[in-house]
Amino acid sequence: MGSEIRSHHDLKVWQLGMDFTEKIYALTQSFPREEIYGLTSQLRRAVSSIPAHIAEGNARNSTKEYLRFLSIAVGSLCEVETFLQLSLRLKYGDSKQIQGLLDLLSEEGRMLRGLQKSLVSKLNN
């Protein structure tokens, strides 16, 4: 009864994406000021596009379209992972905090891929 998905707000993968976005915004506040239009901006744009594409895909009329937007979200997830790895290399931000974010990112990736798999299965049945 209580597990029906009415909107993207009900999706745990979207909720985690929003939480993750907040955490990335907090992390990047400590980045060097000269990175405001560089790494900080790129990281924030990429991370915010993850839940945005999940929401947009969920609002689409077809499973195929939904899958396309989830694929874009996975691409953004890979961008975020790359930018976090670069942040570690450049020694921007707290390395333990970044490692925790990478772990959270892995969880988001598993959830996204699980949703994709579920939708592909639905499409093929």
- Please write the tens of the pLDDT for every residue from 84-124: 999 999 999 999 999 999 999 999 999 999 999 999 998 88
Where on the phi/psi map is residue 45: left (φ > 0), alpha (ψ -120 to 50), or beta?
alpha
Query: What percentage of residues in the chain have a pLDDT greater than 90?
Result: 90
Residues 14 and 55: their CA atoms lie apart, in Å, by 7
pLDDT band at 4 (very low <50, low <70, confident <90, very high): low
How high does pLDDT run on average in the chain? 94
Q: Which two tokens stand for residue 83?
A: 């930018």
pLDDT band at 125 (very low <50, low <70, confident <90, very high): confident
The owner of tokens 């060097």 is: 32
Indicate the DSSP class of residue 108.
H
Q: What is the pLDDT of residues 22-73, one digit of tens each?
A: 999 999 999 999 999 999 999 999 999 999 999 999 999 899 999 999 999 9
How many angstroms separate the most distant Cα atoms in the chain? 52
Q: Which two tokens stand for residue 43?
A: 């990281």
3-class secondary structure per residue, 5-66 = CCCHHHCHHHHHHHHHHHHHHHHHCCCCHHHCCCHHHHHHHHHHHHHHHHHHHHHCCCHHHH
* Domain annotation for the chain: domains and CATH numbers: 9-124 (1.20.1440.60)
**What is the model's pLDDT at position 2?**
47
Residues 78 and 101: their CA atoms lie apart, in Å, by 13
**What is the model's pLDDT at position 1?**
39
